[in-house]
């Protein structure tokens, strides 16, 4: 199965990850000699693989990624990457293999939940590594979703009519490279921008940078989970909330904004719905908080409610306060927010706003059809009709998603949790949300799970990140057979 463009892409990805090892390696060299070997060893493995991959596919530089290649890549890359990234954890000797896998997958998929108990040592170099891979992993996901996935058909990215955004299968390779380069610059730029803003609010530069990386990657991992509560700074929360909102928007759209093509940005259906849904949910949450007198002042309800809503929609999972005791209605809203997620081609997880929009419009049309059986209709997004194939793909996605969620919940519950706990845990991991508190109001301790539990959640995280379909396809035996005509 020598698919050269895929191998090349893998090589590039691994090279990037190996590069990401450098800060940790440097830090280990300076402060933690015991961690030097794990990092150096991993770097060696990564370097040799990427060099091999890139060298042996030199001539494939001009080749385009086929549909099957794209599927193969998306389906296997994250598993491969998580295996690579877990090496420093595993070889450090502090954690079991499953814990290491879980931790690295959590970072890579930007879930952001840690399974390391507080009493087990967590070397700073590993912490740095964690934060770097979450930042890189998110960037890679976003780029891949913007560029590669549209070519695979009925994915979320395809729905915002990739054609309209100018990222389509017809584009030549150099132009794709250019777009990738610009998206990466946008990502890096946003991170730096947020860092500056956070510094302005009074945070020290290094922490600002780390907080920015954590926000822009929509992961939400901070070692000290009460960080925001302790700082109690409205300015900081506003900055973080703003950037969470931005990072969950379609990056290609943001890119158009930078290009000053404002009309595209303004007329995008997904963006409009995203803002509307977040606002409406926030209003509902705040009203319910007020109704139940959870906080003394309206301002506090707004502050905590709005932050939490934005956080869950962008699947970051940062918490500005302990929301375990909020009323059940709010918990349900957040539960659904986690499932919905952010916009397509962003760093967020979930079923994506674009799919939600299409599904809602389909529902409305079908109900209309009861009254007007002979109606001819189409679903319109951003002014352009959505292809019939895409519509079927989206509804099917919902079906697979619901099915997978129920199956994973049932499997996870075998570890001995209750119904709601299992459901909210799976939702948190499948959608890569991952705050310290699970969404449906019960705190969950991921620190001492059985092996089975770790495996289930590991799968949930990665499958959720790659939008399920790729994974489902990998399960089919036909995929692995050598066929002509690929």
Partner 1 sequence: MNIKIVLYLLGKLSCFLGAFYTVPFLVSLYYGDEGRGIFPACIALCVLLGLLFTKYGHYNRYTELISNRDGILVTVLVWIMAAVLAAIPYAVSGRLDPVSAYFEAMSGLTTVGATVIADVEVWPKSLLFWRFWTHWLGGLGIIVIFLAILPTISGSAVHLFDAESTGFEEGKLKPKLKSTAQILFTIYVGITVLTAVLLLAVGLSPYDAICHAMTCIATGGFSNYNSSVAAFHNPWAELILGLCMFTAGGNFSLYYNVFRKGPNLLLHDDEFRTYAGFIVVIGTLITLNLYLSGFDGSLLHSFRVAFYQTTSFTSTTGTVSTDFEQWPAFSKLLLCLLYITGGCAGSTAGGVKMCRIVVLFRGLRVDILHMLHPKTIRRVHYNGKVIRGKTMHMILSFFTIYVFTIGVTSLIVAATGTDVLTALTASASCMSSAGPGFGSIIGATGTYAPLPLAAKFVLTWNMVMGRLELFVVLALLNRSFWRGNSRW
Question: How many Cβ atoms from other residues are within 10 Å of residue 245's Cβ?
Answer: 17
Return the bridge partners of 385, or none: 380
Binding pattern to partner 1, positions 149-168, x when CB under 8 A? Answer: ---xx---------------
* Closer to partner 1 by Cβ: residue 52 or 452: 452
Question: Closest approach of Cβ 395 to partner 1, in Å?
Answer: 4
SS3 189: helix
Instruction: Give the CB-side neighbour count of residue 103, counting CA atoms within 13 A.
Output: 28
Quote the CA–CA distance of 197 and 185 in Å, as a whole number. 18
Listed ranges 212-220, 307-315, 456-464, 466-474: which one lies at the site for partner 1 (CB under 8 A)? 466-474
The pair of structure tokens assigned to 262 is: 């404002």
CB of 303 to partner 1, least distance (A): 22
Q: Which is nearer to partner 1, 152 or 264 (CB)?
A: 152
Listed ranges 110-118, 242-250, 316-324, 358-366: which one lies at the site for partner 1 (CB under 8 A): 358-366
Q: What share of the chain is helix, strand, coil (3-state, %, to 5)?
A: 70, 0, 30
Give the binding range for partner 1 (CB under 8 A) out of 113-121, 237-245, 429-437, 478-486.
478-486
How far apart CA 81 and CA 10 sit, in angstroms, is 9
Counting contacts by CB under 8 A, is residue 144 touching partner 1? no
Contact predicate 306/241, CB 8 Å: yes
Stretch that binds partner 1, among 3-11, 156-164, 342-350, 361-369 (CB under 8 A): 361-369
CB of residue 41 vs partner 1: minimum separation in angstroms? 38
Nearer to partner 1, 265 or 471 (CB): 471
User: What tokens appear for 143 in the block?
Assistant: 């780029």
- Please, what is the minimum distance in Å from the beta carbon of residue 269 to partner 1? 18
> In the bound complex, what is the minimum distance in angstroms from residue 398's beta carbon to partner 1?
6
Which residues, 175 to 234, sit near partner 1 by CB under 8 A?
A: none
Report residue 372 as tokens.
């007007």
Cα 389 from chain centre: 25
3-state SS class at 47: helix
Site string for partner 1, 43-72 (x = CB under 8 A): ------------------------xx--x-
- Name the token pair of 51: 């060099």
Contact of 248 with 342, CB cutoff 8 Å:
yes
Nearest of 133, 125, 137 to residue 23 by alpha carbon: 125
# chain residues binding partner 1, by CB under 8 A? 58
User: Closer CB to partner 1, residue 87 or residue 148?
Assistant: 148
Can residue 134 be called a binding residue for partner 1 (CB under 8 A)? no
- Comparison of 238 and 473: residue with beta carbon closer to partner 1: 473
User: Quick check: 360 binds partner 1 (CB under 8 A)?
Assistant: yes
- Contact (CB, 8 A) for 218 and 251: no
Diameter over CA atoms, the chain: 74
Dihedral sign, Cα of residue 203, residue 208, residue 210, residue 213: positive
CB under 8 A: which stretch of 173-181, 270-278, 310-318, 471-479 binds partner 1?
A: 471-479
Q: What angle do CA 13, 5, 176 make, to 5 degrees?
A: 75
Q: Based on CB atoms, which residue is closest to partner 1, 89 or 471?
A: 471
2 or 476: CB nearest partner 1: 476
| Helices 4-31 + 124-147 axis angle, to 10 | 160
Q: Does 393 bind partner 1 (CB under 8 A)?
A: yes
Q: Verify binding: residue 414, partner 1, rule CB under 8 A.
A: yes
Report residue 275 as tokens. 């803002």
Q: How far is the CB of 470 from partner 1 (least distance, A)?
A: 9
Q: Which of 218, 216, 196, 217 is nearest to 205 (CA)?
A: 196
Which residue, 92 or 409, is less far from partner 1 as judged by CB?
409
Count CB atoms within 10 A of the CB of residue 454: 22
**443 touching partner 1, by CB under 8 A:** no
Q: Applying CB under 8 A, does 333 fall inside the site for partner 1?
A: yes
Q: Which residues bind partner 1 (CB under 8 A)?
A: 67-68, 71, 152-153, 288, 328-329, 331-333, 335-336, 359-360, 362-363, 366-368, 370-373, 388, 391-393, 395-396, 398-400, 402, 406, 409-411, 413-414, 416-423, 440-441, 469, 472-473, 476, 478-479, 483, 485
């Amino acid at each position: 199965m020598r698919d050269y463009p895929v191998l090349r892409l893998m090589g590039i990805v691994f090279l990037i990850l190996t590069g990401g090892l450098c800060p940790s390696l440097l830090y280990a060299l300076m402060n933690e000699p015991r961690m030097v070997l794990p990092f150096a060893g991993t770097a060696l493995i990564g370097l040799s693989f990427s060099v091999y991959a890139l060298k042996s596919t030199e001539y494939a530089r001009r080749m385009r990624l086929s549909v099957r290649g794209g599927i193969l890549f998306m389906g296997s890359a994250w598993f491969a990457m998580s295996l690579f990234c877990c090496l420093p954890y595993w070889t450090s000797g502090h954690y079991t293999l499953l814990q290491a896998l879980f931790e690295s997958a959590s970072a890579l998929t930007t879930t952001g939940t840690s399974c390391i108990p507080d009493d087990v040592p967590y070397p700073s170099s590993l912490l740095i590594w964690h934060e770097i891979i979450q930042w890189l992993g998110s960037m890679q996901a976003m780029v891949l979703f913007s560029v590669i996935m549209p070519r695979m058909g009925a994915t979320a990215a395809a729905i915002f009519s990739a054609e309209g955004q100018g990222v389509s299968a017809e584009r030549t390779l150099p132009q794709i490279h250019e777009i990738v380069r610009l998206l990466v610059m946008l990502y890096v730029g946003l991170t730096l921008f947020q860092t500056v803003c956070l510094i302005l609010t009074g945070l020290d530069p290094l922490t600002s940078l780390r907080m920015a990386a954590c926000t822009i990657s929509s992961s939400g991992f901070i070692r000290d989970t009460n960080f925001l509560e302790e700082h109690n700074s409205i300015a900081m929360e506003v900055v973080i909330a703003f950037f969470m909102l931005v990072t969950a928007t379609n990056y290609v759209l943001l890119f158009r904004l930078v290009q000053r093509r404002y009309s595209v940005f303004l007329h995008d259906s997904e963006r409009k719905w995203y803002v509307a849904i977040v606002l409406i949910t926030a209003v509902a949450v705040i009203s319910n908080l007020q109704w139940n007198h959870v906080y003394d002042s309206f301002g506090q309800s707004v502050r905590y409610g709005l932050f939490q809503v934005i956080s869950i929609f962008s699947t970051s999972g940062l918490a500005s306060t302990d929301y375990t005791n909020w009323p059940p209605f709010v918990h349900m809203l957040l539960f659904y927010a986690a499932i919905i997620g952010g916009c397509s081609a962003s760093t967020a997880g979930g079923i994506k706003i674009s799919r939600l929009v299409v599904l809602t419009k389909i529902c409305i049309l079908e109900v209309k059809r009861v009254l007007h059986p002979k109606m001819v209709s189409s679903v319109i997004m951003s002014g352009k009709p959505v292809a019939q194939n895409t519509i079927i793909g989206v509804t099917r996605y919902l079906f697979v998603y619901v099915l997978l969620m129920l199956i994973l919940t049932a499997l996870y519950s075998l570890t001995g949790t209750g119904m709601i706990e299992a459901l909210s845990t799976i939702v948190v991991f499948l959608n890569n949300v991952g705050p310290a508190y699970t969404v449906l109001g019960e705190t969950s301790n991921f620190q001492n799970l059985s092996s089975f539990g770790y495996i289930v959640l590991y799968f949930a995280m990665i499958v959720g990140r790659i939008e399920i379909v790729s994974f489902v396809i990998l399960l089919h035996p036909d995929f692995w057979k050598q066929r002509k005509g690929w």
